[in-house]
Amino acid sequence: MATTAEQMTDPAVITEPHRESEPNPNNGYKTFETGSFKFERDEYFVRITCPTGTHIMDVENFLRSMMRDVAWGFFYGWVNFDEVFGTVNHYDSVDVFIGAYNQAYKDSGTDFTERFESKSLGACFKSLLSDWTNAGFDPFAAPLETGSARGPKNGNNDEAVNFQRELANRFVSLPGDSPIRSDETGRPVNRQFADVDQSEPEVHAEEEFEGQLAAFNLFRYLSRSPVTWNPSIVSVVRSSAYCPTSEEHILPVDHGNDRVEWFIQMSDEITWKVGDKDTAAPMSVVTMKAGDVACMPADIRHRGFSPKRSMLLVWENLTPGLEKRYARGELPPVPASF
Ligand code: PHB
Ligand code: FE
């Protein structure tokens, strides 16, 4: 069949609301359907069905990935739950795919993608996350700090799944902006950061600069993060955002970049597995120790492994439309070539 102009244009955007079943009489969980995708869970696994096949995932890993996709509003670019299933953010619409960024699926023609309005897909994923998260399981917590998601339905943990990221408009601790973390604001020091200095810098502003000058102890701030792999924003200068985060165990999503991002390892150590964004082929293993700085190129996917709780600063460039300039090849995927 000849390729018509219509086939070359963007796919249709699905806006219809999702469907939810009655709870399964055997395990208590609802089944969710949106577009041509069906999501089912049992005591151990999640099954995702689309017209070209079925994909199965461990339920805990799935819920940890889903938590990030929901809380981050689909994030920048690709959120791969594993090498097969994930989402791509187009910033008002989102693709859901099976195998579309996996060479073996593409070669066999079993890849499948549908595009959704962000709002309607977000509502589906949020409802699924709430129904499938049992009491005692916090998908944002390190595995050693939470219970299990496995087994039949047992209550919920909406307090955990509604956790809001702390996003400074300008700078943490400025009047009216994101506050410093303390015991009083419900942010105790994490068990693995008991040795972190808790003193705050003194700020002495000249009279006319009062309320405009701020400083805070970023190590103290991160020692009090209650969650893992969930960057907050501590400063925004034009399009430059500092997004520090505390990490423990495995980054639940394999992030496919749509722009360059920079990492500064502030404490301990993270090993990153880096792969090809389009094919999932492994490319490199990068171990970052305290003080190391790395650029994650715009054409890769990466997943971090943090054996102890560690502090990472992610530096993001929020310039509007940047992802389109990289996608067109207008900007090189790395800031320097050697
Ligand atoms: C990333 O994809 O760059 C990323 C996401 C979450 C983190 C750290 C890094 O906690
Ligand atoms: Fe990333």
How far apart are alpha carbons 252 and 263 in whole angstroms?
A: 17
Which top CATH class is 191-226+228-327?
mainly beta
Please report which ligand is nearest the Cα atom of 65: 1
* First vs last C-alpha separation in the chain: 45
Q: What's residue 337's pLDDT?
A: 87
pTM, entire model: 0.95
Describe the strand order of the beta sheet including 32-34 as a list of residue ranges.
19-20, 32-34, 37-41, 45-50, 53-58
Beta bridge partners of 261: 296
**Residue 80 identity (one-letter amino acid):** N
The pLDDT score that the predictor gives to residue 338 is 84
Ligand 2 centre from 302 Cα, in Å? 6
What pLDDT does residue 256 have? 97
Cα–Cα dist 255/280, whole Å: 11
Ligand nearest to the CA of 72: 1
Per-residue pLDDT tens over the stretch 222-258: 999 999 999 999 999 999 999 999 999 999 999 999 9
Q: Output the CA 28–ligand 2 centroid distance in Å.
A: 35
Ligand nearest to the CA of 288: 1
Residue nearest to atom 7 of ligand 1 (CA): 229
**Res 8: pLDDT:** 61
For residue 65, how far is its CA from the centre of ligand 2 (angstroms)?
A: 14
Query: Cβ < 6 Å from ligand 1: which residues?
Result: 229, 231, 245, 247, 251, 255, 261, 312, 314
If you compute the radius of gyration of the chain from its CA atoms, what whole number of angstroms results?
21
DSSP for 85-127, written as a single string:
EEEEE-SSEEEEEESTT-HHHHHHT--EEEEEEHHHHHHHHHH
Mutate-to-test residue for ligand 1 from 72, 245, 263, 265, highest number of ligand atoms within 8 A of CB:
245
Closest ligand 1 atom to Cα of 296: 3
Q: How far apart are CA 197 and CA 194, in angstroms?
A: 9
Whether 296 and 315 have beta carbons less than 8 Å apart is answered as no
104-135 residue pLDDT tens: 999 999 999 999 999 999 999 999 999 999 99
pLDDT beneath 70, residues of the chain: 1-8
**Environment class of 147 (CB within 10 Å of its CB; exposed 0-12, middle 13-18, buried 19+):** middle
- How big is the CA angle at 233 (ends 285 and 331), to the nearest 5 degrees? 55
Residues 6+ apart with CB under 8 A from 39: 31, 32, 33, 46, 47, 48, 128
Domain residue ranges of the chain, discontinuous segments joined by +: 11-161, 191-226+228-327
C-alpha 293 – ligand 1 centre gap (Å):
14
Mutate to test the pocket of ligand 1, among 314, 315, 317, 318 (most ligand atoms within 8 A of CB): 314
Q: What is the pLDDT of residue 9?
A: 75
Q: Relative to the CA of 245, which ligand 1 atom is closest?
A: 10
Q: Is 145 helix (H, G, I), strand (E, B) or coil?
A: helix
Cα–ligand 2 centroid distance for 2 (angstroms) = 39
Compute the distance between CA of residue 193 and CA of residue 246 in angstroms, rounded to an integer.
10
**Looking at ligand 1, which atom is closest to the CA of residue 302?**
2
The two structure tokens encoding residue 182: 């303390």
Which of 242, 296, 312, 313, when mutated, tests ligand 1's pocket best, judged by the most ligand atoms within 8 Å of its CB? 312
